Amino acid sequence: MTRPRPRALSIAGSDPSGGAGIQADLKTFSALGVYGMTAITAITVQNTKGVSGIEAVSPAVVAAQIEAVASDIGVDAAKTGMLANAGIVKAVADAVRQARIGNLVVDPVSVSKHGHLLLERDALDGLRSQILPLALLVTPNLPEAEALCGLTVRTRDDMRRAAEAILALGATAVLVKGGHLAGGTAADLLVDPDGEEWLEAERIETPHTHGTGCTLSAAIAAHLAMGEDLRTSVRAGKRFVTGAIAHALAIGKGIGPVDQLWMSAMPDLR
Residue 247 lies in a domain: yes
Instruction: Please give the positions annotated as active site.
Output: 177, 209, 211-214
Q: Residue 67's pLDDT is what?
A: 98
* pTM of the complete model: 0.95
Query: What 3-state class would DSSP assign to 223?
Result: helix
On whether residue 77 sits in a domain, the answer given is yes
Helix (H, G, I), strand (E, B) or coil at 18: coil
Check residue 129 and report its DSSP letter. Answer: I
Residue 153 lies in a domain: no
Q: Is residue 184 part of a domain?
A: no
Domain assignment present for 146 = no
Q: Which residues contact 36 (CB under 8 A, 6 or more apart)?
A: 8, 9, 10, 25, 26, 29, 30
Q: Position 99: which residue type?
A: A
CB burial of 125-158 (b: ≥16 within 10 Å; e: otherwise) equals ebbbebbbebbbbbbbbbebbbbbbeeebeeeeb
What residue numbers bound the domain in which 89 lies?
7-141+209-259
Q: How far apart are CA 195 and CA 164, in angstroms?
A: 11
Provide the pLDDT for residue 110.
80
Q: Alpha helix (H) ranges present in the chain? A: 21-31, 59-72, 86-99, 124-126, 142-149, 156-167, 212-225, 230-246
pLDDT tens-place values along the chain, 270 residues long: 566 899 999 999 999 999 999 999 999 999 999 999 999 999 999 999 999 999 999 999 999 999 999 999 999 999 999 999 999 999 999 999 999 999 999 999 887 666 666 788 889 999 999 999 999 999 999 999 999 999 999 999 999 999 999 999 999 999 999 977 767 788 999 999 999 999 998 889 899 999 999 999 999 999 999 999 999 999 999 999 999 999 999 999 999 999 999 998 665 554
DSSP assignment of 55-100: EEPPHHHHHHHHHHHHHHT--SEEEE---BSHHHHHHHHHHHHHHT
Within a 13 Å sphere around the CA of 112, how many CA atoms are in the beta-carbon half?
26
- What pLDDT score was predicted for residue 115? 63
Q: Tell me, yes or no, whether 189 lies in a domain.
A: no
**Is there a contact between 88 and 56 (Cβ–Cβ < 8 Å)?**
yes
Number of domains in the chain: 1
Q: Is residue 195 part of a domain?
A: no
Q: Which amino acid is at 194?
A: D
Q: What are 119's strand-pairing partners?
A: 84
- Residue 190 in any domain: the answer is no
Domain CATH code at residue 217: 3.40.1190.20
Name the burial class of residue 161, with classes exposed (0-12), middle (13-18) and buried (19+) by CB atoms within 10 angstroms of its CB.
middle
Q: Residue 114: its pLDDT value, please?
A: 60
- What pLDDT is stored for residue 117 in this prediction? 66
